[in-house]
Chain A
Amino acid sequence: MTAVRELGILIALAVVVVVTAVVNPLFLSGQGIRDLLLNACLVALLTVGQTMVVITRNVDLSVGSVLGLSAFVTADTFAVNPVLAIVVGIVVGALCGLVNGALVGLGKVPSLVVTLGTLSVFRGLDFMWAHGRQINAANLPDGFLALGSGSVFGIPYLVIITLVVLAVAALHLGSYRSGRELYAIGSNPEAAVLAGIPVGRRVFTTFLLSGTVAGLAGVLAVARYGTVDATVGTGLELQVISAVVVGGVAIFGGSGTVAGAALGALLLSTIGSALEVVHIAQFWQQAITGALLIAAIALDRSVALRVAARLRRQSRGVSA
């Protein structure tokens, strides 16, 4: 079932790319493809953590704020020590994830409300820390900025890092017990508890991972853009959740893959670039993202209902 869903995204992606390339051949030049991949990277990275969270039937709305906070703290620490800055950026993300995980696990409050709250708390901390300042590329070492723009054998570092994180997460979700248990939790939380799965601890860990990955993305955002102020990553959570859902991760939990989610991120950012290339105003982008998100949720629901109906028919056939 999942394979079919990912095939669908690939076809959609191919259609968008071909149509756009016909209108403007530069779209498929070496530089054009590089830009496409680079633009998708940060969102694709964020979908890794979000996928795990959504599989457990939760959601993390705070990722954009975590990325922003981590980005500013990283840029600010650079003057002191570059290596320390990268570590601190990731640790800041992990701490944010820890807070989310603890609140969701401890208070038994829906993650939506918790992360809606921490979305503005983390952003507020970001503003307090930044205090109206902006940090520019001139304040950052070239070696670090190369991390965001450089490449090896023509493949940008950013793409390599994203692929590595994706591969590790895919392996964890697909082949490790702690990963498989996330699907069990999302499919049926009560049954998962009865089956002896440490639900609270697993959910806590997914939020911790989501925050850590957002912290890493914050560090990389500094390297990529060079300029950092307190607004970096504002509204990004919407793109990430859209990518995850468009990528076939069920918003009701229990199914989906990080590869599908990453493809979803690539599709959305490609549509964004394509709109620019064919000179449709940027203003349509958000509306299309929203419409795609609603369509994906509706599709997801109808597929789930159909599968459930088929399973019912089959089980009836077996018993008869």
Chain B
Amino acid sequence: MSDLYKKTLTEMAGLLQSGEVKAVEAVRACLDRIEATEPKVRALITVMGEEALARAEALDAEGPDASKPLWGVPIVLKDLLTTKGVKTTCGSRILENFVPFYDATAVAKLNEAGAVVVGKANMDEFAMGSSTENSAFFQTGNPWDVERVPGGSSGGSGATVAAGQCFAALGTDTGGSIRLPSSFCGIVGLKPTYGRISRFGLIAYGSSLDQIGPMTRSVEDAARMLQVMAGHDPKDSTSVDVEVPDYLAALGRKNLEGVTIGLPEEYWGEGLDEEVEGACHAAVAKMEALGAKTVPVKLALTDYAIATYYIIAMAEASSNLSRFDGVRFGYRNKNAEELIDMYTASRTEGFGDEVQRRIIIGTYVLSSGYYDAYYNKAAKVRRLLRQDFDKAFEQCDLIAGPVCPTTAFKAGEKADPLQMYLMDIFTISCNLAGLPGMSLPVGLGKDSGMPVGLQFMGPSFSEASMLSVAECLERNLDPMPMPEL
């Protein structure tokens, strides 16, 4: 079997542009790798072998095109991004047979840039989860140890990239769903500023929190993907109309002199696993050795972020998921004689437990009598959390801390929903404030041998400086190996 799958996206894009590798060869390398590893990893809901090969043949017939930066590069999409003519399930029985008639804007932009979609990745149903154990179809294994979870909800996207089944995948991040699986799977994951990438065609969970982002095997790869997808979209009124910088031009800095990194004491204290703390501390020490200055900062409301997040996310979810009624698309119970009964039976049979639990809590916190005590209160705390960040960024350029208190845990280990929600403690505030965040792999845990991710967070639209700092650190760390499968 060809070992082309070991290349980074940047290396593969170069080989394709120079004609050294044909698009069909790149796609076949990924399909072979999928065939070899998928029985263990189970990252993909849909493999698009025939479609991908046909598209690659068409690209090869035209020849490489320098105006298409991802020409011929095989990628995978999280299965909540709509794809014209290709099943889009959102990890749910209720959308098991849904075939959209339009592409999400991010998908359309990747297609225009020449990328070839080879599959749709498994995920927690409607992106609700931190482990990809809540998919209606099957659980995904972490390529480093398939007994362990890949993180969630973009766990399929994380696993497919780490396993070498593609050169990049798209995830979505509502409360950490790109950064957590990236940390658990040892890859780079970037959640851009809210509004940086159009959400048109993203099947919504928490509309004021969701953001699409790349999951890749290098920082430069993430920059290339972001460059293609970023920008205003008239189809999404929350996408922001500000200039897109040249993310690749920002890379390649020699050192980190002049950069100030804030270390929030709330992220580095009690509750952090020793092996996570060790790997993250070593990475921070490396940044200091490269010339960065570190300062302590306070994110005093971190303890309140999870309660704030789950109130807002579940409220928005209960509203967003009301569209699934069995009328226009999705599963319908055929036995109901009256309309209301049809809605109820279809939703009861179509949604899984975690989705039902969140819809009920969301409905509860939005109901009259509780709206002010929960939803409105959470929206006020959300502003305070945002102000906390604004104050912190008066002292530093970027914030650094762990992505998660632990490395990947074993499947079934966290059966209590509240315990699972607490896994998101370090990632959630960033979504509430709408800020960019990323996970960079900084080594393997001393005890578990599982990957550890260091998180960066920055002010709105600071992706270019975040990528440049992360890429400099990445170059000065030991290269992250690929897991043996």
Q: Do A and B associate with each other?
A: no
Chain A interface (Cβ within 8 Å of chain B)?
A: none
